Amino acid sequence: MNTTTHTLIIGGGFAGATLAQELAKSNISTTLIDRKDYFEVTMATLRNVADFSKVKDTPRIRYADFLSGEFIQGSLVELTENSALLDNGERLTFQQAIIATGSSYPSFSVAKSNHAFTLNERNEELKDASLALAKAKSVLVIGAGAVGVELAGDIAYSHPNIKVTLADSSSTVLSSYSENTQRKATKQLQALGVNIQTNRYYQQQDKVYIDKHTGDQLNADITYVAVGVKANSDFMKPQLSQCITEQGFIKVDADFQVTGTTSLWAVGDVADLQDLKLAAAAIPQGKELAANLIAKQQGKKTKAHKPMPEMGLIPIGQKKGVAQIPIFGAVTWKPLINFKNKDLLIGYVFKGLGIKH
């Protein structure tokens, strides 16, 4: 079976969904494909696990319930410059395609599910994960980047009876952030009772995690491995392997156009851009590319992308957190922290997509 569309959007995360909605405003025909049938505000996932009752099912909505263009549920297995082959044998031909497949955690599926492809399955997956956590007496979080720090803080806040250990191979938490941000985050985590272990490289052997440097063992009821982000670009390998880096990120120019192609663009986590791999960067990228594609269609000038300054807003528990923003540096301003802590930006993201929350 063959289907034809003007604009194919591959991946319905923050960048892809934003792009689809923006193009629809200019009556550009789009078809969005995604392996799952729902959009998810992933910033709320960690709190869903730590305390499901706080946000429940509200971070997720079916594409069919809000998307202005066409939607097809399926997984891409091969992409060329004018067609896409799905795992069910269907081939989609297009005039232009945007790749917004994002990234995943192969070892941390609860953050971005590798198994739950329907809304009901995903809601149940997170509910089950939260129930399992509530029964635990000890938790190990491996990886003290933004995700690991937020998860450890949320668990420690919601379950003060659980012994939470946060381990990282670096010498500090949030190693890619400023020293001031690291200090503030460390202080808040310790205030919640989180046991921070740095310069640790835990590897699993049977049911025990062993630090390969010291030989120390750590056995927790639940372990979350929040490291090893993978770009979702395997479908590029059969025909367009020259367009991806060794790490799997898609090579693009300043206009988001895939290097060496005339009909392909890439945005969000999967694109080889200097921006941080955050929703705060993916959403503006979707809007930028939409504006450029509309301008291109109208014969107008396009604007080159400028990387977003490094920034981050990391909740640590439900009341506190730390933000790193340009000019001001590391701050713990309550109004700013509460902006995210209030509903994990569900309302903000939904409003941007035209969804009534």
* Whole-Å CA distances, 261 to 5, 23, 133, 253, 257: 18, 21, 47, 11, 7
The tens place of each residue's pLDDT in the chain, 357 residues long, gives: 678 899 999 999 999 999 999 999 999 999 999 999 999 999 999 999 999 999 999 999 999 999 999 999 999 999 999 999 999 999 999 999 999 999 998 889 899 999 999 999 999 999 999 999 999 999 999 999 999 999 999 999 999 999 999 999 999 999 999 999 999 999 999 999 999 999 999 999 988 999 998 999 999 999 999 998 899 999 999 999 999 999 999 999 999 999 999 999 999 999 999 888 889 899 999 999 999 999 999 999 999 999 888 788 999 999 999 999 988 899 999 999 999 999 999 999 999 999 986
Per the CB < 8 A criterion, the answer to whether 188 and 316 are in contact is yes
pLDDT of residue 61: 98
Per the CB < 8 A criterion, the answer to whether 46 and 84 are in contact is no
φ and ψ of 165, to 5 deg:
-115, 130
pLDDT of residue 276: 82
Helix H or strand E encompassing 258: none
pLDDT of residue 80: 97
CA separation for the pair 101, 33 (Å, rounded): 10
Per the CB < 8 A criterion, the answer to whether 99 and 250 are in contact is yes
Exposure on the CB side of residue 132, measured as CA atoms within 13 A: 13
Name the DSSP class of 274: S
Take residue 262 and report the two structure tokens written for it: 């005339």
Take residue 298 and report the two structure tokens written for it: 């109208």
pLDDT of residue 146: 94
Closest CA to 291 of 256, 338, 326, 244: 256
**Residue whose pair of structure tokens reads 């009901």 in the numeric block:** 120
Which of these CATH numbers, 3.40.50.150, 3.30.420.10, 3.40.33.10, 3.50.50.60, describes 2-107+229-309? 3.50.50.60
Q: What is the CA radius of gyration of the chain?
A: 21
φ and ψ of 82, to 5 deg:
-140, 5
